[in-house]
Structure 1
């Protein structure tokens, strides 16, 4: 009994060590990278150690896990061997022969509760609220503990990898994050006020973009404005001045034989020389960039950035022209509709008719439709209403086309550019009255 204070101190110390590791783990993974980077640029050594721990997270997390496990084990073992005896003596007059097992259970349970509350929950809560401060304070001790524990961690890692090999599980680490997980994190940030609604929508669209096929966002063949290769320069000037496009495909015959793309700047730049040496339309053309209708929008965006492209022609499986897609089309999937001074004021992406009905542009994003009318239209394979119609009809939509999906009726209006979206009331079911 004389050693009881020392034993309690030892257990308290072990719980404190457990708390240290638990707090350092949460603090390091929760610390703001922006703030740590700012301190790093100021030459802060502790910030450099934090960055090192994050870059070598496997070693760091393994060291923390070893520390937590050993601290918890020794705390429980010390309590079981040193505190169970005195408690056994105290309980013997009351429960007789049950005093031994009961004292062991009570001591183990008590240490487990204390370790859970003061060694895990409380330090982790504190670390979340003071992530940077605790991360900087614990970075150096963790660094030295990593070096000391390195042989043990390597042995355990090799042993673990051996078991994985025996079970046929790949040893290499994977850090793939699913779209749903990213959205869940964004939703949590939105609920906490760290991310606004507009930012949430952009992030949603950004993680969905790599999975969207260009056929879902392209301008369909029937809506393409183009020039014939036989068009004279005077006729070309007239056509260009009457529309707002800066690039037009030029065809020899029909849209299945596009010979180049005319950039308005290439037409205007040599104006002083046109009178003396008028070039042919073919001389002003730029090469055509072709892609499959199943090409992914994310890949197209990278191609456009790399090759300084603004327009691509989309081909179907037979090599015919299915449509065209511009850089603006891709960017609108990220930020929503981009309107300039040439877009008519009345051409809005959405106009509400009632609480359950709205009129949308054919190329409005399905995300916008879902948000405005509180719908759950699928958006896994297509991003716009146009893509939805293409998928359902297997052709470009025309005026009067109508589809029903997920309890929603979608009808292409007479102009062929807008869609009436109507959320149908749930079907009434007949019930028998007894």
Structure 2
């Protein structure tokens, strides 16, 4: 060692220390960037032909080998540095306890700042950008050091076995639904808002029941065959639905589903009777109101059906569900206006929004970015009445779900019109 200090000039010794610090920082940055890299983003880059991403992805398939290379190199350098700096200090200033302490503190400071903290912060901040470039350097090292790595990893695997840890099981861990949801939420720079909302709605669909997206009984259009034939024909001519539930006097008892297109083809017959329409009826399909939407969507696909009637535990019809209702829950309404909403625009310039009492809470949440509770009543009228516990007899305001609501119009049956006041950002959360 003395020969080294005597033969090398001081500037060369200082340059060697700087080089080792930089090399140690390089391996620290490589370790952090590799581990912090988004695997899905790297996979997408590799599939698009990015060679560096493909190399990095290959390295991450064997994390044990990758970490062994980086840690062995980094720790060897960090072991040599204190010895080198201390040797230089003792050679220049003699064997003094104070000199030894200062040298130790100096090298510790240099390693912490330039070999650990700074490189790791940079590696974490620009993980993918750095890892796809560093992979070209690390990959050859894994080949050169393969015998040493095999020895080290065999020893590590033995220790993990003694502790009851299975590395293969750790590698097989998959991403949970909540983790995937978080990835979608954080992907605002890569996925458009519309596409991101569709993906989030798809996650929510797992927890939604058919009763949440159905057309309520009060809004269903039903064809009554007990009425005069002229009235039946008139209703069919002005109907804007493809299919209609049909009753025979009792609207609570649906006897079939009529295809409006087929019914209209009969209208040229002057001797048209109710029996002609009865022959076109298809058997109604009933589903419990607690059926999950995902299960019902699968049924629609497998049986090539598009409409079902939702019933409660007593068999009473509560509403109607179509395949389009489920699709609209995913991608939004097809029409230019939401049923139950006064206007299509978002918040007015004065921070208000005027809505009908029959407005669906899910649609309001989606349209206005609110967090109104949807685990109880499904309409704005129902939500306010649940809060008040009575039908109001005068204009008043109520705050529900962080939103101030002014009741504008009501009658003996419920609330008809409500003015919503836009909540502050912290209240909306």
Q: Give the structure 2 partner of residue 173 of structure 1.
A: 173
Partner deviation per Cα, 1:358-382 (whole Å, 9 max, x = no partner):
222534454645864x754335x37
The answer for the alignment partner of 1:315 in structure 2 is 311
Who is 1:72 aligned against?
Answer: 74
Distance 1:376 1:249 in 2: 34
Unpaired segments of 5 or more residues in structure 1? 427-434
SS state of the match for residue 173, structure 2?
coil
Match status 1:330 vs 2:321: no
TM-score by length of 1: 0.68
Give the match for residue 210 of structure 1: 206
CA distance in 1, matches of 2:348, 2:22: 67
Structure 2: give runs of 5+ residues left out of the alignment: 6-12, 425-429
Q: Is the 8 A contact 1:313 1:323 kept in 2?
A: yes
User: Contact 1:63/1:146 (CA < 8 Å) preserved in 2?
Assistant: no
Match for residue 353 of structure 2? Answer: 358
Q: Secondary structure at the match of 1:309?
A: coil
Q: Which has the higher contact order (CA 8 A, sep 6+)?
A: 1
Cα distance in structure 2, aligned partners of 1:330 and 1:408: 30
Q: Tell me, in whole angstroms, the C-alpha distance in 2 between the residues paired with 1:316 and 1:162.
A: 57
* C-alpha separation in 1, matches of 2:303 and 2:93: 82
1:430 is matched with: none
Counterpart of 1:108 in structure 2 is: 108
Give the whole-Å Cα distance in 1 for the aligned partners of 2:267 and 2:34: 68
| RMSD of aligned alpha carbons | 5.2
How do 1:25-424 residues align onto structure 2 when only pairs under 5 Å count? Answer: 25-26=35-36, 29=39, 31=41, 33-39=43-49, 59-88=61-90, 96-116=96-116, 119-125=119-125, 127-129=127-129, 134=133, 137=136, 141=140, 156=156, 160=160, 163=163, 173-178=173-178, 182=181, 186=185, 188-190=186-188, 192=189, 194-228=190-224, 236-251=232-247, 254=250, 256-268=252-264, 280-339=276-335, 348-349=343-344, 355-361=350-356, 362-366=358-362, 368-369=364-365, 372=368, 376-379=371-374, 381=375, 385=379, 389=383, 392=386, 404-406=399-401, 408-409=404-405, 411=407, 419-423=417-421
Deviation track 1:80-104 (CA, whole Å, cap 9, x = no partner) reads 33333333555768xx534434433
Size of the aligned set, in residue pairs, is 404
TM-score of the superposed pair, with normalisation by structure 2: 0.69
* Matches of 2:208 and 2:99, distance apart in 1: 68
Task: Note closer, same or farther for the CA distance 1:385–1:30 as it changes in structure 2 (3 Å cut).
Answer: same
User: Which SS does the other structure have where 1:409 is aligned?
Assistant: strand
The higher radius of gyration belongs to 2
Instruction: Check the 8 A contact 2:37/2:127 in 1, yes or no.
Output: yes
- Tell me, what secondary structure is at the counterpart of 2:206? helix
Is the contact made by 1:210 and 1:296 (CA closer than 8 Å) also made in structure 2?
yes
Once the two structures are overlaid, the 10-residue window that deviates more, 356-365 or 267-276, is: 267-276
> Residue 217 of structure 1: CA displacement?
2.3
SS in 2 for 1:358: strand
Q: Secondary structure of the equivalent of 2:321?
A: strand
Contact 2:285-2:308 within 8 A present in 1 as well: yes
1:432 aligned partner: none
Q: 1:334 to 1:274 in 2, by over 3 A?
A: farther
